[in-house]
Amino acid sequence: MISRAVTLAAFVLLWASTAFGQALPEGAQAMSLTGEPLFAAEPGQGALDRLATAKADYESDPDNADHIIWYGRRAAYAGDYRGAIEIFAEGIEKFPRDARMYRHRGHRYISIREFDRAIADLEKASMLIEGTENEIEPDGLPNALNIPVSSLHGNTWYHLGLAYYLKQDWDNAYRAYKAGFDAGRNDDNRVSTAHWLYMILQRKGDPEAAARVLDAITVDMNVIENMSYHNLCLFYKGEMTLAELLGDNEDNPTGAAIMYGAANWHYYSGEPDTADEMLRELVSTDSWSAFGYIAAEADLAAR
């Protein structure tokens, strides 16, 4: 846990050291939905250096909202999701009308499997952004072109939709992802939200509506970052084969997204055993903070 002064908000979050009402094993960040402790990988030196810089910036001016945001983000990138949650809680205490604080804390509640808390934060963020101008959200890990592709509005709706999806609340998940699609500023946003909208509508038993979502997806879109979601959408449209989609799947967030989407396709196609086998394979990897991994966990827990 990151060492710093304990705030009132952090005190309220005393059970940041617990999960589902039970004490976490020492060093664990969360418990899986099947009750297994989840430990963060050892961060690389680059992540630690960037965290140290963000911490120094915060300590030089702890009432600067941007410094709090980056301190929390860098803590999470270094694997300390619970420390990040405490930092964003301090940000909420100091800046209760700053939607970014709730958006980022909600994201990290998803990481540690506290979906109801994530929903509460992200619904709050969605209210705070209402009527405001959308703004680009700077990348913590810039892409190859160093062009940020996400926005505050888009990320708020995306993570809110995900939190509802993980609870299999399809109607609210659809509402949030549709708002995210409409707020999309570029093709990266469109392919990522279209992927989840497609899966939601399939789970709702409306394959015709799911297919219509894909009308906005074309092979020549200018996708910079979310190639896995673009490929999944092309696969759903029949413009890419399953073998082309899967390729050499790797144990990383991109691979988790592909594996989860492909598993769901088998589920929709009347092959639940194949789907479950792929989900079990996915949750045997080390990518436990990846959204596809968490969704696989949630699906298996609900079976």
The tens digit of pLDDT for each residue in 151-170 reads 999 999 999 999 999 999 99
pLDDT at 248: 63
- What is the distance between the alpha carbons of residues 153 and 159, in angstroms, rounded to a whole number? 10
> How sure is the predictor about 16, in pLDDT bands with cuts at 50, 70 and 90?
very low
How do 22-23 and 18-19 pair as beta strands? antiparallel
Q: How far is CA 140 from CA 72, 151, 195, in A?
A: 11, 13, 23
Q: Which residue has the tokens 């997204």?
A: 257
146-232 homologous superfamily: Tetratricopeptide repeat domain (1.25.40.10)
pLDDT at 4: 42
- What is the distance between the alpha carbons of residues 3 and 144, in angstroms, rounded to a whole number? 33
How do 37-38 and 22-23 pair as beta strands? unpaired
pTM: 0.91
Closest CA to 87 of 56, 58, 115: 58
| Residue 1 · residue 80 · CB < 8 Å | yes
Type of residue found at 299? D
pLDDT surpasses 60 at 6: no
More confident residue, 3 or 155: 155
Within the chain, where are the H helices?
Answer: 8-12, 45-60, 65-77, 81-94, 99-111, 115-129, 152-166, 170-182, 187-203, 207-213, 227-236, 242-246, 253-268, 272-282, 291-302
Tens digits of per-residue pLDDT, 110-144?
999 999 999 999 999 999 999 999 999 998 777 77
End-to-end CA distance of the chain: 35
Instruction: Return the CATH number of the domain spanning residue range 1-132.
Output: 1.25.40.10
| Residue 118 · residue 106 · CB < 8 Å | yes
Tens digits of per-residue pLDDT, 243-260?
999 986 555 557 999 999
Phi first, then psi, for residue 186 (nearest 5°) are -160, 180
Residue 37: strand pairing partners: 31
Q: Which long-range contacts (CB under 8 A, 24 or more apart) does 133-136 make?
A: 134/183, 134/185, 136/185
